[in-house]
Amino acid sequence: MSPRCRSPQRGFSLIVVLLILVVATVLGVGAAQVSLVNERSARNDRDTEVAFQAAEAALIDAETDVLGPNDDTRQRLCLFNRQDVTGFVDGCGGAGKQQGLCAPAEPGTDPVWMSVDLSTDSGRSVAYGTFTGQTYFSGDAATGMRAGALPARAPRYIVEAVRSRGGWQANALQSASAKDASYLFRVTAIGYGMRDETQVVLQTNLYKPAASPGCLPQD
């Protein structure tokens, strides 16, 4: 009677199972990493949107500051005169009502906004609502720390006097003499996301055709 044959493949099923487990583990880890990347991307997009909206709000606040109407007791509408920018300071380093007002850059030099420090600590920019009385809730203002979907800190802006080479209207030319010099007001605003590291900078030019009510017009 011939001896019973033994299968040479004993234990092969265990190897197959282990290989399947390894493949499943690799796929699971890959799926988890993709999910984390997508979640991080969505969080960054939301953070950037918060900063963008804050910067837009600062532009609107600056427009009220420059053009009015502004009934706040701290308003400084008379400092914004298209023919007189003597209230603007070199390097935006003014104090009080001159805070954030940047004198025109010298011809051939970089505009002020490219080098000025817009952060809170520098004291050269204006926090939202300083001269309008408006409030923009942020993490530092609401709780002294980060608070939900609020920005980490309030948005800020500077106003730079820019020599106008012509009238606001395309068909209204202007004399180039110093006596007839006229200025636009360039606003540069910075908004923060829920993290200080997330920042958005926006810019706009404002034209003020006449002095605000109650201000003496310049000849």
Which residue has better confidence, 5 or 34?
A: 34
* Domain annotation covers residue 13: no
C-alpha closest to that of 139 among 31, 51, 56: 51
* Domain annotation covers residue 60: yes
Q: Is the pLDDT of residue 185 over 90?
A: yes
* Domain annotation covers residue 8: no
CA angle in degrees (0–180, nearest 5) for 60-62-68: 90
* Domain annotation covers residue 150: yes
Confidence of residue 170 (pLDDT cuts 50, 70, 90): very low
Confidence of residue 36 (pLDDT cuts 50, 70, 90): confident
Say if residue 69 is preceded by a cis peptide, omega within 30 of 0.
Answer: yes
Average pLDDT over residues 150-162: 93
- Give CA 172 to chain center in angstroms: 33
Write out the H or E segment, with its range, that includes residue 203.
strand 199-206
Among 59-63, 80-84, 88-92, 161-165, top mean pLDDT goes to 59-63
Average pLDDT over residues 179-202: 89
Residue 98, token pair as written in the block: 């001159």
For 98, the domain range is 37-206
- Proportion of the chain in helix, strand, coil states, percent, rounded to 5: 35, 15, 50
Average pLDDT over residues 187-213: 92
Residue 203 pairs with which residues in a beta bridge?
188
SS3 sequence, 4-72? CCCCCCCCHHHHHHHHHHHHHHHHHHHHHHHHHHHHHHHHHHHHHHHHHHHHHHHHHHHHHHHHCCCCC
Q: Is the pLDDT of residue 17 over 90?
A: no
What is the rounded distance in angstroms from the CA atom of residue 129 to the CA atom of residue 97? 13
Confidence of residue 127 (pLDDT cuts 50, 70, 90): very high
pLDDT of residue 186: 95
Whole-number average pLDDT of the chain: 83
Confidence of residue 60 (pLDDT cuts 50, 70, 90): very high
Average pLDDT over residues 169-184: 60
Give pTM, 2 decimals: 0.77
* Domain annotation covers residue 11: no
* Domain annotation covers residue 211: no
Confidence of residue 150 (pLDDT cuts 50, 70, 90): confident
Average pLDDT over residues 58-64: 97
* Domain annotation covers residue 112: yes
Confidence of residue 119 (pLDDT cuts 50, 70, 90): confident
Average pLDDT over residues 63-79: 95
* Domain annotation covers residue 171: yes
Instruction: State how many domains the chain has.
Output: 1
